[in-house]
Amino acid sequence: MGDGEVLVAPALPDLFEDRGRRSALAAVLAHKAIVIGAAIVLVITLMAVCAPWLTPIDPTAIAPLERLKGPSLAHPFGTDMLGRDLFSRVLYGARISLFVGFVIAALSSIIGLVIGLVAGYWRRLDGIVMRLMDALMSIPGILLAIAFMAISGGSMGNVILAITIVEVPRVARLVRGTVLSVRRQAYVEAAVASGSRSLTILLSHILPNTIAPIIIQATYVCASAMLLESVLSFIGAGIPPSIPTWGNIMADGRSIWQLKPSMIFLPALFLSLTILAINLVGDGLRDLLDPRQAGNG
């Protein structure tokens, strides 16, 4: 602090009044990370959905004469060792990755929510349920998924199931933690004092408090599920190699990566970009939904 320097408190912006008046949508749109992340996810989703119109070439059509071609107008990303068009394979691969990611995020959120609510509210079940969740979490996710795939065999449904099993405990722990902290709040006691039943309190007072953390967690689950799916496909323990997925394309490219590195890099680029975008959305939502920032006005 220099001599004679006068400390003047900066004028406090009237954040809360402002926040209160704005609609939720406006608040979301004002958040750069969410907007950028959501835009990227949206573009990739549109590309996946519109794949048949964006490329006329069947991603599984083999054309031996067109093997390992470089980028051209007909094949923007070139072709692989069987002459399949990489651009359409990457587009159709996005369908699988996004579908798997979103379905797993939804499934593990719902299952994790139910398990977490039950464990957090009915303490008698807590010990058993949460030790089971701990046991699942103590096994590295990728190993657990590989083990499940080894038993059940490769198919998309099994991949979704395998990764859901990996992700559910994380959601369940989060929900249980939230329930445990919320159930000690004065407003839960007040609800008991006003004659509400346990189930009503659980569903109408505690459940709404878990939604924000679950939405945030769901974005991370989605990103991690997409990565895990790619890894499973890459090592051949995931979706059958006949179906183009980003992991499968990379697996095909592994043996010829010195010859055609783009077969690894392009799907990897899309995968990284998608995961980055989803994480951006998740981080943004976390900032936005954080009760310490939204509440206590």
Partner 1 sequence: MAPLLSITDLQVHFRTPRGVSRAVEGVSFDVNAGETLAIVGESGSGKSVTSMAVLRLLPTKTTRVSGSIRFEDRELLDLSEDEMRGIRGNAISMIFQEPMTALNPVLTIGSQIAEALMLHQGLGKRQALARGTEMLDLVGIPAAARRMSDYPHKLSGGMRQRVMIAMALACEPRLLIADEPTTALDVSIQAQILELMRSLKARTGAAVVIVTHDLGVVAEVADRVAVMYAGQKIEEASATQLFARPHHPYTSGLLRAMPRLGTSLHDPDWTLASIPGQVPSPFSRQEGCAFAPRCAKAKDVCRRHRPALRPAEDGHSHACHFPDNATGADHV
Interface with partner 1 by CB under 8 A: which residues? 16, 20, 185-197, 200, 204-205, 208-209, 211-212, 291, 294-297
Q: Least Å distance between CB 192 and partner 1? A: 6
Q: Least Å distance between CB 162 and partner 1? A: 34
Q: Is 114 exposed, middle or buried (0-12, 13-18, 19+ CB in 10 A)?
A: middle
Contact 263, 80 (CB under 8 A): yes
Q: Which two tokens stand for residue 39?
A: 């835009």
Q: Which two tokens stand for residue 115?
A: 């398990």
Q: Least Å distance between CB 220 and partner 1? A: 21
| Beta bridge mates, 79 | 85
How far is it, in rounded angstroms, from Cα 79 to Cα 72?
10
Q: Phi, psi (5° rounding) for residue 277?
A: -65, -45
How far is it, in rounded angstroms, from Cα 147 to Cα 144?
5
How far is it, in rounded angstroms, from Cα 274 to Cα 270?
6
Cβ proximity to partner 1: between 158 and 217 the closer is 217
Q: Least Å distance between CB 142 and partner 1? A: 36
Cβ proximity to partner 1: between 21 and 64 the closer is 21
Amino acid sitting at position 68: L
Cβ proximity to partner 1: between 47 and 211 the closer is 211
Cβ proximity to partner 1: between 9 and 186 the closer is 186
Q: Least Å distance between CB 191 and partner 1? A: 7
Cβ proximity to partner 1: between 67 and 183 the closer is 183
Q: Residue 206, Cα to own-chain centre: how many angstroms?
A: 24
